[in-house]
Structure formats: C-alpha cells, structure tokens
Amino acid sequence: MQNRVEVSAREGGSPNFSVVVPCFNEEEVVRETHKRLGAALAEIGLACEVIYIDDGSADKTLDILMELQNDDPSMRVVALSRNFGHQVAVTAGLEHCTGDVVGIIDADLQDPPEIFAEMLAEWRKGADVVYAVRAERAGETAFKTWSAKRFYRFINAISDVDIPLDTGDFRLMDRCAVDALLAMPERDRFIRGMVAWVGFKQVPLSYQRAPRFAGETKYPLKRMLRFASDGLLSFSLVPMRFAILTGSAVAGLSFLGILYALFMRIFTSDWVTGWTMLFIAVLFIGGLQLIFLGLIGEYVGRVYGEAKRRPLYFVKRRAGFEKSGRDAADSTADHA
C-alpha cells in the first residue's frame, strides 16, 4: 500500500511534503527561518506541513514558535521536555511527520530552504534520499572545515558504511527511508550515518552553505567531539581491533627485550643493572592498558545506555496537530 502512495505521489500526483526543523536557543533566527522557509515552500506549491522541534530551548524560541503557529495552520510545534540534542530532535520530528516525502533542515538558515525544490525534482526522478553536499562552508572556522573533512575520511576508512563527505543532515527522504530510519531504535543516533546505512537510492546534490543567519553554533568543541565519537563507535569496531593489534605489537616487543636481556646476562658481563628499562616498560604497558580499558568502557557504556531502553525523548507540548484529519484520527486511536 505504501508503495502505491509513493508511486502516485512521484508521478505528478500531489504528495504531502513535511519539513522538520530542529531548534535550540534560536530566538534570533526562527522568525526569519519561518518566513524564508514559508516562501520557499509556497513556491514549491505542494501540501506542506512544517514541524518545528523545540529542543528544550532556554530562551524565547518556544514562545516565538507558538506565536507563529497561531497564525499558520500548516505549522506544527513539538516542544521536548528538555534539551535532548540535535539528532534526537530531528528524530522526534521524523516521528511526528506524516508526509510522503520529508525534508530536514537546520533552523539557522545555513542551509538554503530554496534547495528543497531541486531536491524534490530528484525525488520525482526516483531518488529515495537526496542529501545535500556542501560545496563551500562560508562563515565556518577553518578548523571546523578541516576537522570535518578529516573525520569523515577516517570514519569511512574504518567502518562498514560509506558516509558521504561534506554532508550534514540537510536532506530529503522518501517515506520508505524515513520508516526505515525510524525502525532503528538505537540511542546514540548519528543520523547521516544511519541514513547511509539504510540503503535505497541515495543521490547527492551540491549546494553552497551560507553562514549562520544569527546566533551562535550549538556545537562547541566538546559537543563536536561527543558527536564524532558517537559516529565512530556506533559504526565501527575497528578501535577495539586496534587495541588487540597494539597489544600484540607491544607484547612482541617486550618478548624481544627479554631475549636481549637473557643474552646479555648469559653471554656478556655487562648486563643492565639500572631500572630504566623496567620503568619504561611498566609505564608504557600500564598506560596502554588504561587507554584500552577506557576504550572498552566507551563501548560498554553505550551498551548500558541501550540496555536501559529509555524512550529517546519526552514531549512537553504539541501544537498544530489537532487541525489535520490524519492526526485527529491518530489521537483517537491513542485514547482507545
């Protein structure tokens, strides 16, 4: 049944288009985002719903969203009970959207919403996922650009998915890809990797990334590192294998050291009397053990997090959902 909807929607029928916008402390930009996104969607001319996820903002973001929602029935707002992070906010949006085709875009206007028209054209030609590739990253530090490049090269080299270089979460997904993504319940969500992993027909689309419209990045270095380690550890066991290899190499070296010490002791008269060698060996091996214990701890900690099976997020408030027939039906089902 799902397939029939897709086919008719792609072949010139009128698909429903949903757009998910995660917002965290974006009071300075949401009005402008809403205006520009609204204009871009009007241009596209499909039946649209825009879902703004307020990811526990501490500023006026939610108030502004509620105010905008009052004047615009196509707009939906989901407010999470606290800050759950960008990737969870996007997931919440995907779970709430009903479109045949779904777009994800940041609230800060770094990704131009006008590109959705081109993405939809690719989708009509048969793409299930159209991901935007940054041709340029204006307004971002050289360090961020450089580190992002290195990171994606590295993760692709050591993992079994191929995450396209220079992509973010700005993309368009057919319902089949959205459903596949939502069927993956993991907690450490690295959406761009997970989308690459689900398969289907994925097509790149190059665009120029603009600087932030206003406000500051919500990904300071610490969060970037956490995000990077999520990506790495949830897609690869290579770091653990690396531990085994390094352990073997060090053990091999120390074996050579033992042979050398025995040789000196038995066949010469000037054997090592100092503690230097001992010290170095103990410290080196001790350090390595701690590093790898920590690494295993990272994996175990993630297993623990998954094992608790907590919900990904809680919703504090929803607005705009009662107006659509489909949602009204859903909510009666909820009550039954």
Q: Minimal CA–CA distance to 155: which of 227, 224, 232?
A: 232
Q: Where are the alpha helices (DSSP H) in 236-317?
A: 238-267, 276-307
Which residue in this structure is represented by tokens 């871009």?
Answer: 40
Residue 106 binds to ligand UDP (criterion: CB under 6 A):
yes
Taking the complex as a whole, the smallest distance from the CB of residue 24 to ligand UDP amounts, in Å, to 3
Selected range binding ligand UDP among 6-14, 174-182, 213-221, 260-268, rule: CB under 6 A: 213-221
Q: Which is nearer to Mg ion, 109 or 120 (CB)?
A: 109
Residue 234 binds to Mg ion (criterion: CB under 5 A):
no
Amino acid residing at 230? D
Considering only residues 60 to 99 of the shown chain, the ones binding ligand UDP according to CB under 6 A are 83, 85-86, 89
Neighbours of 192 (CB within 10 A): 20
Is residue 243 within 8 Å of residue 290, measured between CB atoms?
no
Q: How far apart are CA 96 and CA 101, in angstroms?
A: 13
Number of amino acids touching ligand UDP (CB under 6 A): 16
Residue 255 binds to ligand UDP (criterion: CB under 6 A):
no
Residue 134: CB partners within 8 Å, gap ≥ 6? 166, 167, 168, 206, 207, 208, 209
Residue 110 binds to Mg ion (criterion: CB under 5 A):
yes
26 binds, among ligand UDP, Mg ion, none (CB under 5 to 8 A by kind): ligand UDP
Residue 103 binds to ligand UDP (criterion: CB under 6 A):
no
- How far separated are the first and last CA of the chain, in Å rounded? 25
Q: Which is nearer to ligand UDP, 15 or 85 (CB)?
A: 85
Taking the complex as a whole, the smallest distance from the CB of residue 91 to ligand UDP amounts, in Å, to 11
89 binds, among ligand UDP, Mg ion, none (CB under 5 to 8 A by kind): ligand UDP
Among 74, 145, 147, 217, binds ligand UDP (CB under 6 A): 217
Q: CA torsion, points 52, 111, 129, 206, in degrees to nearest 10?
A: 180
24 binds, among Mg ion, ligand UDP, none (CB under 5 to 8 A by kind): ligand UDP
